[in-house]
Amino acid sequence: MKLLTVLFCLLGAFASADEPSFREFERKPYVISSAEVAKIKEEIRTQCRLPKAEEISYPWYYHYEVGIAMQKKQDWQRALDSFIAALDHRDHPSRGSRIYGMWFVDYFPYYNIGIAHYHLGNWKCAVDSFRLSQMLENFPADSVQSYRLREMGVLAEHQLEK
């Protein structure tokens, strides 16, 4: 059983009757060109030393790195799609996750999904993602991520209440 399902069953995670969701939202337009996306994805595939194959078959870290790259380009819909794809391959976050060889990354998918939803104006999805991040992702209390998580979570909740 997936980590998320177990967590919801054990904790009754949220006060509302709705099961928290970050997957049900209105899609927004892409920002950067398909050609630029293809170039970025090829660079990441090469960096990860992955053979050419169907993108769905690539490991979680490929999708996560594509999400980070799309975040940097502020293509929030593509970033969101990539972070959700990473989560579909690996649903438990962790600090210092091994990617390839001696390459490690902090894998915080719920935090990044929340940021993408926030920038897309998907307030309920952002709030749910930030709550999941607070429960599952272990940020140091004084980290930039921890500060942004609290700040953006409060702002998203205020938008949701409007």
Q: What is the mean pLDDT of residues 123-145?
A: 90
pLDDT of residue 74 exceeding 80: yes
Domain contains 25: no
Residue 53, phi then psi, degrees to nearest 5:
-160, -175
First to last CA, the chain: 36
- Please give the Cα distance from 34 to 55 (Å, whole number): 15
Proportion of the chain above pLDDT 70, given as a percent? 88
Q: What is the pTM of this model?
A: 0.85
The three-state secondary structure class of 100 is strand
Q: Per residue in 26-40, pLDDT tens?
A: 899 999 999 999 999
Domain contains 15: no
- Please give the Cα distance from 107 to 117 (Å, whole number): 18
Contacts 24+ apart (CB under 8 A), 150-156: 152/114, 152/115, 152/118, 152/126, 153/114, 153/126, 153/127, 155/118, 156/114, 156/117, 156/118, 156/123, 156/126, 156/127, 156/130
Q: For position 2, what pLDDT does the model report?
A: 54
Q: Average pLDDT, whole number, for the chain?
A: 86
Pair 14, 131: CB distance under 8 Å: yes
Q: For position 18, what pLDDT does the model report?
A: 55
pLDDT of residue 11 exceeding 60: no
Pair 148, 119: CB distance under 8 Å: no
| CA angle, 8 then 124 then 72, to 5° | 105
Where residue 112 sits, what CATH number does that domain have? 1.25.40.10
Domain contains 104: yes
Q: What is the mean pLDDT of residues 88-110?
A: 86
Domain contains 21: no
Domain contains 17: no
Q: For position 3, what pLDDT does the model report?
A: 52
Domain contains 74: yes
Q: How many domains does the chain have?
A: 1
130 burial class (0-12, 13-18, 19+ CB within 10 angstroms)? buried
Q: For position 9, what pLDDT does the model report?
A: 35
Q: For position 21, what pLDDT does the model report?
A: 81
Q: For position 13, what pLDDT does the model report?
A: 44
Check residues 17 and 155 and name the one with the higher pLDDT. Answer: 155
Domain ranges, residue 95: 30-161
